[in-house]
Chain A
Amino acid sequence: MTGVPLSAYLVLALVLFCIGLYGALTKRNAVIVLISIELMLNAANINLVAFSKLGVTPSITGQVFSLFTITIAAAEAAVGLAILMSLYRNRKTVNVDEMDIMKH
């Protein structure tokens, strides 16, 4: 059975990770930043699932791990958004680069 090689999935994950990272570090809108972080977590999930099937000793554990990850990511997104809400209520902005009253 010639499937897609492991490396292909890994490279895909890597690319998505990098994109997510770039997004998280450059986008001004905090929502996008949060969602970019989700993308990074997703990239990790791809790794986990790929290793789960094509790794050294295939096992279901990777998939279980990824389920945990997805849940955590969701929770994190929720908390992140909640924080953003309270911030927005006080500051009326969602731009991360305007959050700099504390520095140096």
Chain B
Amino acid sequence: MTLSGELIAFFGLALVAILGGVLLITLTKVVHMVIALVFTFLSIAGIYLLLSAEFVAVVQILIYSGAITIVMLFGIMLTKHQESDEPAKGGWGKITLLLAIAGFAVAVYLGIYNLDIPVQPATLHEENTKQIGIELFSKYVIPFEVMSVLLLVALVGAIVLAKKDDEEGDQS
């Protein structure tokens, strides 16, 4: 495998993504964790770019690195979080979990580590957004519309659940 720029970029991004993930696990402060994950999300966006999915990459940055992370941070702030997140001491549980994850990872890894399908020429990067748009509005109208309902549901749900009720406001 020759060391091409793409490869370097990939390794860099992958490293950052994984590092972000690892930091998520190892850091103790909740806010830090979220920040660490922003890096992951960003580098995933980078990965998307490498995969000629510019639109997705942009969406990723907007939604994940932007919206979701900020919403989460708001969530943390609103819930007056304990500064640090001390993992509960569950020795056996954690070991089992690690074993399970290891087993899972190995099993999947066996399947994919050398899965290299001969690359067929594809022109995904050309007018990527347009391609997506055409696809979305020709084939996937129905899920798209359902998605709108879903977002409405999420909206309503978020309001219903997170809204401070009047009477409760009075009490507090």
What residues make up the interface of A, taking CB atoms closer than 8 Å to B? 1-12, 14-16, 18-23, 25-29, 31-32, 34-36, 38-39, 42, 45-46, 49-50, 52-61, 63-64, 66-68, 70-79, 81-86, 88-89, 94-95, 97
19 A-B contact pairs sorted by A residue (CB < 8 Å): A2-B2, A5-B1, A10-B112, A14-B108, A16-B40, A19-B25, A22-B97, A23-B24, A26-B25, A32-B24, A35-B34, A42-B64, A46-B48, A49-B53, A64-B135, A73-B63, A76-B154, A81-B162, A94-B82
The 0/1 profile, CB within 8 Å of A marked 1, for residues 97-121 of chain B is 1100100110011001111110111
Given contacts A28-B85, A89-B164, are A60 and B24 in contact (CB under 8 A)? no
Given contacts A15-B18, A60-B131, A72-B150, are A67 and B56 in contact (CB under 8 A)? yes
* B72: contacting residue among A7, A34, A79, A83, CB under 8 A: A34
A89 — which chain B residues lie within 8 A by C-beta?
164, 168
Q: For the side of the interface on B, what is the size category?
A: 35 or more
Q: Tell me if B78 and A46 are in contact (CB < 8 A).
A: no
Q: Chain A: which residue is nearest B172 at the CB level?
A: A89
In the bound assembly, the distance between CA atoms of A22 and B139 in angstroms comes to 36
A59 — which chain B residues lie within 8 A by C-beta?
122
